[in-house]
Each structure stands twice: as structure tokens, then as C-alpha cells.
Amino acid sequence: MLFIGGKWRPASDGRVIDILNPATEEVIGQVPNASSSDLDDVLAAAAAGFATWRRTAPAERASVLDRAGRLLLDRAEAIAATLTEEQGKPLEESLAEVRQSAEYFSWFAGEAVRSYGRLLPTAPGRRAWVERRPVGPVAAFTAWNFPASLPARKLAPAVAFGCSIVLCPAVEAPRTAAALVQALADAGVPPGVVNLITGDPPRVSEHLISSPVIAKITLTGSVPVGQTLVGLSARHLQSLTLELGGHAPVLIFDDLDPDQLGRAADALVRAKFRNAGQVCISPSRVFVQEAVHDFFVEAVVERAAGLALSPLANARRRDAVSSLISSSEANIRTGGVQPEGPGFFYPPTVLTDLPPDSAVLRDEPFGPILPLLPFTTLEDGLEQANAVPYGLAGYLFTANTERADAAIAGLDVGMIGLNEVALASAASPFGGVGLSGYGREGGTESLEAYTVATAVTTKGAP
């Protein structure tokens, strides 16, 4: 399962890590635990791959990505089945994720030929321009909650703009990422351009980042891991893109009528509990204006109570969710009890009447926990919404344009949904502020993330 220099191979010392099905807790496979020798090999492969790929015409890079995207669509059902088995989300969600990954490949195929620089005004007899050059070999670390789309969001721009990449997927769900790498290999990406490593995360990250071969680091993961990688990058001052935790606020305003509140509740419950709440942009703190608070709470409880959720990713996540709820000092309106039997399941849990210092309001839940609280004025709602150090996503539901504009201006987050909960797309920049990280992936902003600007000034012969 290690993919180094265009070839699949086991770990050099034969060590492996078990992969569990989170719905049954059964071992469904194993993944290599890369050795130091394997990591040295992948660094050498990435350096060689970059030397070739950076000189490859953008049109050829685009063709490879386009072919890989079409291969993903052809293989979508099989990849989705693997994704569901190792990560746990419903098959319908897995299939949508694989198709979104194909969209990243095809969208960045178009961007590969649009990595424009610019001409600069100069004095007579001189010329000056800025060109975009690939940043270099990339070390990419991805989380387990979206094992197809998170790797795709890093693979696609790296390949498009001439970088080589060492992809390090989460060991909980690595086979999905391997399917993406295989699609790129089958599409004709040269050896060493795309590589895949699995193993003990702290050891792998320290080994890769300590090497001067790696020019860029991109992480989708937790805040503590992001802080660790920032420290590791200090020696060689690598470029960093960090998409870390989120604790997304939602503002529900009192200008909505009962039908509109019902539709908002539908959207909120759907967004909150997909993938069992294991989504970094998941709504996780809901502030409801006082006049409609009780009505909206009942609407949410009614919709959440009947949901059957997919499992959490592992026992650690289930225990963390259970601990947050037990310490919340809240009124548990539905859920809150871990079911018996195999699998890391936890029911949708709606909380009200929380004390302002509750850990649920401070710490990212990353699970099926939905707290609802009242607010009075717009200013009060924004103060509560911005009261945490995270700033990834935020949502608001209102029919009043003036309120919407003021709330959008006042939310300190990187992405905002107005009467909408679907934020991620290939064409849109994804990222946050504060402890949610910095830098953007997706959209034309990826050009800045995966290239460097080189300024050139010329004049005639000396």
C-alpha cells in the first residue's frame, strides 16, 4: 500500500497497522507502517518526480488530471464501497464524496493551463514580469472524516501546478486515498510525482518535514497537530496551509415564519448529523433569537430524534463525544445515551439550557452534538458566535437583507452560508481564521498555495 516512485510495495520491515470497520469493530485489512528507510525512499522519489514534472507542459498536466477524474467516476461505486467500509459513512454520502473528488480533478485540469503571471509596466528598454512557479515537493496530511475529498483537494492542485506530492492519509481510512493515487497512476502521472505513505503519524510527519526536500506542508487535521507541524517546519521554513478545527456558529433570526423555520431546521439537522457530525464545517453552536427560540428547538428535536446515524470513526471519538455530553450540565432533549452492541455508534443529541462556560460551547465536538441557545439582538448573537478562537465556517438564516448583510460582515470566519449549508466546492476557497488555520485550498486561491511568485526584470545587453 505504500506508493513510492510509481510502484506499490509493503513496508521494508514488514510492519503493519490494522484497519477497523467502525460499524462492526472488526479488522478489515492492514496498511503498511512505513519505516525510516521507506520515508527516505519517498523523499528521493518526490525530489526526482518534481524535477521532471515541473518541466512538463501545463496542457499535459491537465490531460493527466482530466483522465484521472474520469477514471474516478468510472470506479465510483467500488471506491465508495471501500470508503463506507473503512470510514463508516452511509454509502450514498460516500458515493457523493467520490464524485466530488472527481470534480476536483477535472476542475483543476482546467486551472493547470491558467497559472498566469503578469507583465509589469517598465521604463523604455526594460521588460518585467511575474511568473508562477511550482513551490516544490509537497507533504500532504489528511484526516479520516473525508478520505476521498480531502486527499483530492490536495492532490489536484499539486499535480496541476507542477509539484510532486507525498500523500499521508489517516491510517483509519487509507484505502480510499490509495484508489485516488491509483487513478492518477493509471492516467499517466510519471513515477515520483504522486506518492503515498502510511504509518505512525508523529514519526512520519517529523521525518518528512525535517527534510529540506519538502518545500510545502498542507494539513487537514486537529489544532494540536497543526501546532506541532508549525514547530517542525521552523527549521526549513516550509510553506504551510493549515485547515484545522472548527466550531461553526448558526444564527437563526426571528423574521422567519413557521414554514421558513421548519425548512431551516431541516437544513440544520441534515448538515449537523451527516457523517455522524464528523465534519469540520458542521454547525455546532446554534443561536436562536428569543422570539422563535422555543418553536425552533422543538422543530430540531422532532427531526433529530428519528435519525439513525452512521458510526463514529473510532472508540476515541465516541468516548470524547460521551465525555463532552456528560460534562455539559445541559438539558438533553434527545439522545445522550451510548447504545449497546458492536460499532462506534452514538445517537443524535440535542442540548439546551447550557451554562455559558460549558465545554460543549468551547471545544469542537466533532460528533453528533447540537447545542441550542437563545440570543436577543444581532449584536448579542454575533458576540456569542465569535466567542471561540475557531473561525472556519458560520451560518445564518434570515429573510431580511439588511440583517443578512450585517451578520455576514460581523462573523469572524473563513466561509459563510446564508440560508445555505453546502459550502465546499472545487471552485471555492476552503479555509478559516484563528485556530482554524491559515491558507486556502480550492478555487483559484490554490494557485497561490502551490506556486511561488518569481519576479523577472530585464534590459538589453550590458
Q: What is the pLDDT of residues 183-234, one digit of tens each?
A: 999 999 999 999 999 999 999 999 999 999 999 999 999 999 999 999 999 9
Name the band, by pLDDT with cuts 50, 70 and 90, for residue 111: very high
**163 catalytic per annotation:** no
58 & 116 share domain: yes
pLDDT score at 175: 98
pLDDT at 462 over 80: no
Grid coordinates standing for 272? 449537523
188 & 48 share domain: yes
213 & 254 share domain: no
Inter-residue contact 66 to 215 (CB < 8 Å): no
Name the band, by pLDDT with cuts 50, 70 and 90, for residue 314: very high
202 & 181 share domain: yes
Please count the CA atoms within 13 angstroms of the CA of 283 that sit on its side-chain side.
33
Given 111, 243, 364, 441, the catalytic residue: 243
DSSP classification of residue 70: H
360 & 331 share domain: yes
Name the band, by pLDDT with cuts 50, 70 and 90, for residue 316: very high
Alpha carbon distance 275, 69 (integer Å) = 24
- On whether residue 425 sits in a domain, the answer given is no
- On whether residue 424 sits in a domain, the answer given is no
**Dihedral over Cα of 422, 424, 427, 429: its sign:** positive
Alpha carbon distance 85, 97 (integer Å) = 14
Q: 46-104: per-residue pLDDT in tens?
A: 999 999 999 999 999 999 999 999 999 999 999 999 999 999 999 999 999 999 999 99
pLDDT score at 120: 95
- On whether residue 462 sits in a domain, the answer given is no
Q: 20-41: per-residue pLDDT in tens?
A: 999 999 999 999 999 999 999 9
CATH number of the structural domain spanning residue 352:
3.40.309.10
Among residues of the chain, what percentage have pLDDT more than 90?
Answer: 97
Grid coordinates standing for 419? 440560508
pLDDT score at 133: 97
Given 280, 290, 383, 448, the catalytic residue: 280
- On whether residue 428 sits in a domain, the answer given is no
- On whether residue 414 sits in a domain, the answer given is yes
**243 catalytic per annotation:** yes
CATH number of the structural domain spanning residue 152:
3.40.605.10
445 & 345 share domain: no
What is the pTM assigned to this prediction?
Answer: 0.95
352 & 440 share domain: no
- On whether residue 219 sits in a domain, the answer given is yes
pLDDT score at 460: 80
Name the band, by pLDDT with cuts 50, 70 and 90, for residue 174: very high
- On whether residue 431 sits in a domain, the answer given is no
- On whether residue 423 sits in a domain, the answer given is no
What is the rounded average pLDDT of the residues 331-338? 95
317 & 213 share domain: no
pLDDT at 400 over 80: yes
46 & 177 share domain: yes
pLDDT score at 424: 86
Query: Which domain, by its residues, includes 307?
Result: 248-418
101 & 9 share domain: yes
228 & 282 share domain: no
Name the band, by pLDDT with cuts 50, 70 and 90, for residue 423: confident
Alpha carbon distance 19, 22 (integer Å) = 9
77 & 175 share domain: yes
For residue 213, which of 382, 360, 93, 40 has the smallest C-alpha distance? 40
pLDDT score at 218: 98
What is the rounded average pLDDT of the residues 368-387? 98
pLDDT at 461 over 80: no
How many domains would you assign to the chain? 2
Burial class of residue 82, CB neighbours in 10 A (0-12, 13-18, 19+): buried
Cell 489544532 appears where? 223
pLDDT at 457 over 80: yes
